[in-house]
Each structure stands twice: as structure tokens, then as C-alpha cells.
Chain A
């Protein structure tokens, strides 16, 4: 407790004293642990994430991927250590950090149309009613739902619903986009289309992305860096840089020898954890 206090205090001091430097990380995960009673879920994770960087988190189930992401979203509180956003300690959910949940069916409002669901984010940040329709149209257009503004989620396919959830997150105008296995429930073709969609969104908005997945190829395809977590308790096993050219391409990138080498490397890593 005393330690948490000290860290919180340090965070405040930094915030008060410093002008953000260009090389300052957007997110600093500082020696974060999380326990439920005697059970330690996360055991000391430290990662710095630069503005505009895309980080993919992989690891076997139970390694705390989702828990880590929930802490970045402010939905779970670290037992010790801290998550910093632009140099100040994250005390709870923050509008500049958006999260895309895997279960789009539960995260969308079934009684609101696509436009209404996007509108919710605008209403939350106090955007004047007159300005909303234009922003909503632009966002839905951007994510490929321009012609489906008046549909209810129940009338949309899984891929469309997940696009809608991403559009709602973009309406927050987030600096950080967190994604929790967002395409895990989608078919392969839809998944690839959405991967490219996300890459271009991240490129145009300059958002920092943390993407949790259990699909190694997805992680390599999307990431600048891959964090491999190990379980019991969750901790960083390896940090792998992805040196593949951008913009990436579903065919060219995936046939790049570097891509294949990385896939092999990560596969061996994960396999060792499973044994």
C-alpha cells in the first residue's frame, strides 16, 4: 500500500513538473502486478509503448493478456505498480483510451441503430447534437458501414457489428486503441479485411494500439512489436521486434521470409510454454 502511494505520488510529481518530451512513451506500464486474494494473475510487467506504436500481445490462455488490457483501459486496477498515460497515472477509465471488446454482441446497444450506437460515444463526450450526424456519417463511411446506418445490430453480420464497435471507439477520438481478440469470432476472410481496415485506421489517426490476440500470424501482421506473455503468474517472456515494411499486404507481407522466420520463432516460444 505504501509503495502504491509512493508510486502514485511519483506519478503526480512527474505530471506537475515535466513538459512531455517527444520520446516520452504514450503508455508506461511500470512494474504492474495484480492479485485476486492469494492468486497472482499478473506478476510484474513493465513495458513502454511509444506514441503511434502498435503492440501485439500473445501468449497461452491464462497468461493474463486480457487482464493486462483491462488494466490499460482502467477497468481493472493493478495491485501494485502503475499504468501511466502521457506521464500521469491512470486512475480509471479515460475517454482517450478506447477498447474494442471481443463480444461485440454484448458491447453494442441492441435497441440503437448503427448510427445510434456511434452517437452514444459522441453524447458521452458532450458533442452538440447538431454536429453529430455529420461525424457519424463520416465514421460509418470510413469503416464501410455507410449504407447500414439505420440497421439494428441484430440485422448485421458479426463482421459488420465488430466494424460498428470500432467506429464507436473512433468516435471517442482516442489516443490509444485497445483491442481484445476483436476478430477471434470472425471467419478468415472477414478477419483479413478487418486487419487491413485497422492498419489503415491506425496509420491515418496516429493512434497507439495494443492488440491482444492468440493468432500468431495476426500479431506479426499488425504489430511493430510483439509481447509474449508467460503464465502463472502472467509476465513478459519475450519482446520481439517486427521489422516488416509498411504498408503491409495480406499476400506480400505474409510471404516475406522475415514473416516466416518470426512465425517460427514465436511458435517455438509459445510451444515451450505449453509444455
Chain B
């Protein structure tokens, strides 16, 4: 690890420590009732207990599974659909207005529709996650394809690449920076919708767990769930950044 990134890590940990200290000061001074706002120690104890013997571990696994599955589905459909639309100017013109109409719809507005078709089921939650997380990937792929350097289309024509080769060897790699950024965004949306879906449809998972904890005034359990959700988001985003750096080595070379 280089000197600089070590320094960054230390500073980051110091910031986190400061945050926890402020949290502790607020709860120690009893500024907010402990029924609603637990101290860091109590949250930590609930976290350890829940993960070691309690239901928290299973719920975490459940939520992560839901998030990943929905995200993968959204990514696959988004990138494939985006490639099909993006490669043809006619398809873009044909479908763009419809997409513009659907895109601003909040994914949560889709939940009643999904419930009507699929009931309070895991499939319903999955469909809602996939629908909500689809947009960044779909739009980034379409945009990435249409923003491809026109000269490269001419190069592909002169070299005699077929359409599939143009998609696979030219358009996708040139759209990759945008697609990777959208994958990160999509993962965040997937986590949000996984939690919301679990809350609304009473499916096993962290969303349901924190909702129940809140209703029965178990504030420490509620906060333990929130800490885990934060950690899931952080780890997911970090892993994707690492993949991004690796896949976009050629960009780093330019700097």
C-alpha cells in the first residue's frame, strides 16, 4: 500500500471514529430518548448478538441475495436491450420517447402493479428491483453506443467487421466506462428496493427486520440492521470500483 492511500485510510478511520464519538455524546447526554435512539455500545451489542446466534445473519444473506439477483437481472436485460437499441439509429428514434416516459416513474409506483400480478411474493420483489435498477444500465448503454466515435464505425466498415463484432469489439468497450458507472448506481438502487420490497411484502430480510424492530421499539436491533445495510452498500460499491479500475486500465494509462 502506498504512503498516500495509507494516509487516506487513516483519515477515513479517524472520521468514522469522530462520527461514533458524536453519536455516543448525544446518547450519553440523553438528548433523545434511548427508546428511539440507542447508544453505539447497545447497537454494537445487538449487532454481535444478532449475527452470532440471532436471525440477523440469515436476514442479511437473504437481502444480499435479493439485491444481487435483481441487480444481475437488471444489468443483463439493461445492457442487452441497450445494445440492441443503441446499435441502430432507427431503433433509438423509435423507442426513445417511450423510454423517456417510463424512466421517471418511481420504481415504488410499480409495486402495486407488481403485487396485482405476482402477489406478496419473492418474485414480486425481484421484479420491482429489476425494473427500478434497469434504467441506469439501459440508458448508459444506449448513450454509450450512440456516443461511439464515428470514425470507429468507418474503421469497422473498412475492416469488414460484422454487426455482432461491432457491438462486441467496438461499441461495448467504448461504452464500458459509462456502463460501469451505471452498474454502481444500479447496485445502490437494488439495495434500496430490496429493503422497500421486503418491508411492503413482508418477505424475510433486513428490510422486514428493521421494520419489525421499529414497531416493537427495539431501537438497538433497528440500528444494527441499518449498520449492516450501510456496510453492504459500502462493500458493494468498493468491489465495483475495484473492478472498474481493472477494466479501465487503458484510461489510467492516459493520465
Contacts and interface: CB of A to CB of B under 8 A. Distances in A.
Interface of A: 73-75, 92-95, 97-99, 101, 103, 106-107, 109-112, 120-121, 123-125, 152, 154-155, 172
A120 B169 contact: yes
Interface in B136-185: 149, 151-152, 154-161, 165, 169-170, 173-174, 176
Contacts of A73: 158
Contacts of B165: 123-124
Contacts of B254: 110, 152, 154
B117 interface: no
Given A120-B161, A121-B159, 6 more contacts: A75-B158, A107-B152, A109-B173, A109-B174, A112-B250, A125-B159
Contacts, number: 65
A106 B159 contact: no
B253 interface: yes
B170 A97 contact: no
A107 B155 contact: yes
A162 to B, nearest CB: 14
Contacts of B160: 93-95, 124-125
Number of chain B interface residues as a range: 20 to 34
Interface of B: 149, 151-152, 154-161, 165, 169-170, 173-174, 176, 248-251, 253-254
A135 to B, nearest CB: 15
Nearest to B248: A111
Contacts of A109: 152, 170, 173-174
Contact of A152 (B158, B161, B250): B250
24 contacts: A73-B158, A75-B154, A75-B157, A93-B157, A93-B158, A93-B160, A95-B158, A95-B159, A95-B160, A98-B158, A101-B154, A101-B155, A106-B151, A107-B155, A111-B174, A111-B248, A112-B250, A121-B159, A123-B165, A125-B159, A152-B249, A152-B250, A152-B253, A154-B253
A-B pairs with the 3 shortest C-beta distances? A154-B254, A124-B159, A106-B151
Given A124-B161, A172-B159, A111 B154 contact: no
A124 B158 CA distance: 10
Contact of A99 (B158, B176, B250, B251): B158
Contacts of B154: 75, 101
A176 to B, nearest CB: 11
A152 B159 CA distance: 20
